[in-house]
Amino acid sequence: MSAIEFKKLTKSYGKSRGIIDVNFKVEEGDIFGFIGPNGAGKSTAIRTLLGLIHPTSGSATIFGKSCIEHPQVKKDVGYLPSEVFYYDHMRVIDLLNYSASFYKKDCKKRIRELAEIMDLDLKKKIDDLSFGNRKKVGIVQGLLHDPKLIILDEPTSGLDPLMQQKFFELIRDENKKGATIFFSSHILGEVQRMCNRVALIKEGRIIKLEKMSDLRENNYKRIRIETPAAIDRSFFEMPGVSKLELKDHMVNFLFRGDINTVIRKISQTNIANLLIEEPDLEEIFLHYYEKEGETV
């Protein structure tokens, strides 16, 4: 059974676009990235999944069940919203105990452990906390009941790099213990570091669904060449080359296709230095976006 399944999910808000025909699965034990720019529909998809809003058509299920019809399925779900708001006039520990009271298990020990890892002062009033510290409360609150599915909506905003590091370690540990992670972000680096599989969403539609490794290895190479003398742009204009940039004696492009053809091409000229590397996700992603843009 899949941990999460979106089946032809569409949600429209009156005239404005929500999400359209979203179709994909997240298998148990996976770390799944859900990437797209702000406003692409990531949060809409997650909120439909959690039963905060109703689908216009299609369905979104957790462990095969809809959250609206089977609210009990939510006992295995931990959720960290993108913006964390809590009841005012409560201390951190009161809020966490209130949260724990909804689950039929003793979470006291886990609360202490998590608070220690995240370096969170349980005695403070929530009103007095900074944005980053509220986010920490959100993290502890989302994990305190040892959920089997952890849904994170833009989890790292507001956390300093050191805390992000700790947070990712924590999430990896949860994954090793068997939890499925569903992770939405517009920061590609963090998805790249964490996820096995990704779905790319743009303007409400899923445009790509791939294994992280496939996405990166999809024959794309970032090639940088330094030449002793200036070289004509047309020399590198060949099938498979994109984003060609020439600056002083530097040539920079993305290549997709048979690597031998580009190596032969390079060997026809005199070069000072050559660097062939994996493109980062951001580049591939932008590339997808541009391609989409051309077809529209």
Partner 1 sequence: MNIFLRELKANRKALIIWSVCMFLLVLSGMSKYTAYSSSGQNNALFNSMPHSLKALLGFGSFDVTTMSGYFAMLFLYIELTVAIHAVLLGAGIVAKEERDKTTEFLIVKPLSRTAVITAKLFAALVEVFVLNIVTLVSSIFMVDAYNKGADISGEIVRFMVSMFIVQLIFLSLGAALAAFIKNPKASGSLSAGVLLASFVVSKITDLTDRLNMLNLLSPFKYFSYKDLVEGGGLSAGIIIPAILLVAVLSALTYFFYRKRDLNV
Would you tell me which residues interact with partner 1 (CB under 8 A)? Answer: 47, 50-54, 68, 71-75, 77, 79, 81, 83, 85-88, 98-99, 101-103, 141
Least spacing, CB of residue 80 vs partner 1, in Å = 9
Question: What is the chain written as a DSSP string?
Answer: -EEEEEEEEEEEETTEEEEEEEEEEEETT-EEEEE--TTSSHHHHHHHHTTSS--SEEEEEETTB-TTT-GGGGGGEEEE-SS----TT-BHHHHHHHHHTTSSS--HHHHHHHHHHHT--TTSBGGG--HHHHHHHHHHHHHTT--SEEEEESTTTT--HHHHHHHHHHHHHHHHTT-EEEEEES-HHHHHHH-SEEEEEETTEEEEEEEHHHHHHSSEEEEEEE-SS---GGGG--TTEEEEEEETTEEEEEEES-HHHHHHHHHTS--SEEEEEPPPHHHHHHHHHHHHHHH-
Nearer to partner 1, 22 or 200 (CB): 22
Q: For residue 231, how many other CB atoms are within 10 A of its CB?
A: 17
Nearer to partner 1, 62 or 118 (CB): 62
Least spacing, CB of residue 30 vs partner 1, in Å = 20
Least spacing, CB of residue 58 vs partner 1, in Å = 15
Nearer to partner 1, 102 or 234 (CB): 102
Least spacing, CB of residue 36 vs partner 1, in Å = 18
Least spacing, CB of residue 92 vs partner 1, in Å = 13
Nearer to partner 1, 156 or 192 (CB): 156
Least spacing, CB of residue 26 vs partner 1, in Å = 17
Least spacing, CB of residue 120 vs partner 1, in Å = 17
Nearer to partner 1, 88 or 248 (CB): 88
Nearer to partner 1, 13 or 245 (CB): 13
Q: For residue 131, how many other CB atoms are within 10 A of its CB?
A: 11
Nearer to partner 1, 67 or 200 (CB): 67
Sign of the alpha-carbon torsion through 281, 287, 288, 289: positive
